[in-house]
């Protein structure tokens, strides 16, 4: 676990990264992933507009770099610092990556007050976006799931 000095240091680094991004015309979202020994292993900023990728949020970009650094999709034991509270998408990515702790500089309400409202990303909508096709009756549609080796199933997503 990181000590209070390390936490303060990476909060400053996260803030500095966000400031730098805003200075260069970007959004104020930044994230840094730090391993158990206090080493930064990945950082990111919001690149949605530059990459034309709606998933290129700062936290996800940082997770991508950290995963490459460690050579694994599991970031167990790491701490993720974020300039703003991770949105619904990023919270899921953080859980999938098994990040152990998240430290945010501003929560979702504070960020909303500052003009960035992504409260809607936390709402689970039971709408018609996701439809399970019941018209077609492929008998083999479960095959890819059934045929996957058990050891891969235990890894999960």
Residues with catalytic roles: 59
Cβ 33 to Zn ion shortest distance, Å: 14
Q: How far is CA 82 from the centre of its chain?
A: 10
87 binds Zn ion (CB under 5 A): yes
d(CA 10, CA 33): 9
Of 30-38, 50-58, 61-69, 76-84, which part binds Zn ion (CB under 5 A)? 50-58
Q: Which residue pairs, CB below 8 angstroms and at least 24 apart, start in 4-8?
A: 6/34, 6/38, 7/79, 7/103
Cα–Cα separations (whole angstroms), residue 48 to 25, 36, 59, 106, 112: 13, 29, 12, 20, 19
57 binds Zn ion (CB under 5 A): yes
64 binds Zn ion (CB under 5 A): no
- Identify the residue among 90, 94, 99, 104 touching Zn ion (CB under 5 A): 90
Residue closer to Zn ion by CB (options 41, 87) is 87
Could you tell me if 62 and 86 are in contact, meaning their C-beta atoms sit under 8 angstroms apart?
A: no
Torsion angle defined by CA atoms of residues 88, 90, 95 and 100, in that order, rounded to the nearest 10 degrees = -120
Residue closer to Zn ion by CB (options 11, 89) is 89
Residue closer to Zn ion by CB (options 9, 101) is 101
Cβ 84 to Zn ion shortest distance, Å: 9
Using CB under 5 A, list all residues that contact Zn ion.
57, 87, 89-90
């Amino acid at each position: 676990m990181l000590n209070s000095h390390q936490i303060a240091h990476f909060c400053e680094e996260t803030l500095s990264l966000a400031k730098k991004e805003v200075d260069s015309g970007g959004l104020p979202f930044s994230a840094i992933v730090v391993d158990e020994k206090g080493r930064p292993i990945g950082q990111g900023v919001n690149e949605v507009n530059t990459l034309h990728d709606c998933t290129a949020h700062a936290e996800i970009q940082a997770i991508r770099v950290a995963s490459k650094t460690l050579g694994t999709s599991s970031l167990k034991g790491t701490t993720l610092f974020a300039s703003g509270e991770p949105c619904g998408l990023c919270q899921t990515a953080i859980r999938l990556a098994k990040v152990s702790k998240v430290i945010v500089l501003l929560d979702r309400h504070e960020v909303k007050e500052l003009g960035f409202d992504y409260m809607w990303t936390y709402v689970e909508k039971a709408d018609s976006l996701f439809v399970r096709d019941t018209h077609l009756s492929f008998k083999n549609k479960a095959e890819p799931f059934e045929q996957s080796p058990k050891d891969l199933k235990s890894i999960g997503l």
